[in-house]
């Protein structure tokens, strides 16, 4: 039983990261209908800036460096939308996918050219003190990450469902032309959602890489799994994206723990993605308001 609880805790800890990345993907897709493949690379770049520039060169305390890294992620996300996505959005989904793929490659290579391929340990604003849960343990960092995802998901839900900004996002998603006619600042709202996505990517980078390694492609692989979570809600539902992230984390943890076959977790996750896409292709797309 202790083995089971160990896999459960590990799966939920990693699942919160998948959920966090998936939330960032969903928030940008809702308003711009663009799947940001650079979400993971944005998080890695922010983590490198946090570790090398803010804490290393500037010598800032970890708390202040964390806040500034998240702010940098917001600026980076807004910049990606303004510079790479907006100029090609009118050309269709393929053009925007290629644009975000180009940003992914550029950010990944930029980190190598500036800081090299080393993988140093990254600090966290939270402690690594272990809290006993039954016969297993979970760190304060893992608990704080899970709590942060819950707070972020709830905040985004309230922002989109209960505020003027959320009403604007819904209007733009349904008909950008009509939203512009009634006076909504369409471009500003779209840029703001990308800033939120960039901030969530930075937070995911800081939370994930502390538990793993600081390398250029780690969060890109996390992004691939997070797309499965986002697809559960048709890239529109924040609750389903969050739940899907936890499910993906549990699938990886239990399959790697109990199955002797290497790669079985990846096989199950991507089989699940295929199943979700097949099922969703057979039903009409729900109105975005109904998928909050």
* CA-angle at 82, arms to 80 and 83, nearest 5°: 65
Structure letter (DSSP) for residue 262? T
58-70 pLDDT, tens digit each = 999 999 999 999 9
In angstroms, the CA 67 to CA 11 distance is 27
150, two tokens? 């819950």
Using alpha carbons, select from 189, 172, 204, 176 the residue that is nearest to residue 23: 204
Contact 5, 134 (CB under 8 A): yes
Mean pLDDT in residue range 204-212 = 80
Residue 159: exposure state from Cβ atoms within 10 A (0-12, 13-18, ≥19): middle
- Average pLDDT score over the chain: 83
Domain 2-291 belongs to what topology?
A: ABC transporter involved in vitamin B12 uptake, BtuC (1.10.3470)
pLDDT at 233: 67
91-126 pLDDT, tens digit each = 888 899 999 999 999 998 898 898 887 777 788 888
Least reliable range by pLDDT among 166-170, 246-250, 278-282: 278-282
With pLDDT > 90 as the criterion, what percentage of the chain qualifies? Answer: 26
pLDDT at 77: 95
Q: Rounded to an integer, what is the distance from CA 156 to the centroid of its chain?
A: 13
Q: Which residues have CB under 8 Å from 143's CB, separation 6+?
A: 131
Using alpha carbons, select from 279, 259, 269, 275 the residue that is nearest to residue 224: 269
154, two tokens? 């709830």
Give the other-Cβ count within 10 Å of 60's Cβ: 17
19, two tokens? 């959920």
pTM of the model: 0.85
Q: Which residues have CB under 8 Å from 52's CB, separation 6+?
A: 114, 115
Structure letter (DSSP) for residue 126? S
């Amino acid at each position: 039983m202790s083995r089971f609880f160990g896999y459960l805790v590990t799966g939920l800890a990693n699942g919160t990261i998948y959920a966090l990345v998936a939330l960032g993907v969903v928030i940008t897709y809702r308003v711009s209908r663009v799947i940001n493949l650079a979400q993971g690379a944005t998080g890695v770049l922010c983590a490198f800036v946090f570790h090398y520039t803010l804490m290393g060169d500037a010598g800032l305390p970890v708390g202040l460096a964390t806040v500034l890294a998240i702010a940098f992620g917001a600026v980076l996300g807004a910049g990606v939308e303004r510079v790479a996505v907006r100029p090609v959005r009118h050309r269709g989904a393929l053009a925007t996918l290629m644009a975000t793929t180009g940003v992914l490659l550029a950010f990944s290579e930029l980190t190598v050219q500036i800081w090299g391929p080393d993988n140093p340990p990254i600090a966290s604003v939270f402690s690594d003190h272990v809290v006993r849960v039954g016969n297993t343990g979970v760190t304060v960092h893992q608990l704080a990450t899970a709590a942060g995802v819950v707070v972020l998901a709830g905040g985004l839900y309230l922002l989109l469902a209960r505020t003027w900004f959320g009403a604007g996002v819904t209007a733009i998603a349904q008909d950008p032309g009509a939203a512009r006619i009634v006076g909504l600042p369409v471009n500003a709202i779209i840029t703001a959602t990308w800033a939120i996505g960039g901030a969530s990517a930075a937070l995911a980078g800081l939370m994930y890489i502390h538990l793993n390694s600081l390398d250029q492609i780690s969060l890109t692989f996390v992004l691939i799994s997070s797309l499965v979570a986002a697809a559960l809600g048709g890239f529109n539902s924040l609750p389903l994206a969050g739940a899907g992230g936890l499910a993906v984390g549990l699938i990886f943890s239990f399959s790697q723990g109990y199955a002797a076959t290497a790669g079985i977790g990846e096989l199950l996750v991507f089989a699940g993605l295929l199943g979700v896409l097949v099922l969703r292709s057979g039903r009409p797309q729900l109105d975005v308001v109904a998928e909050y």
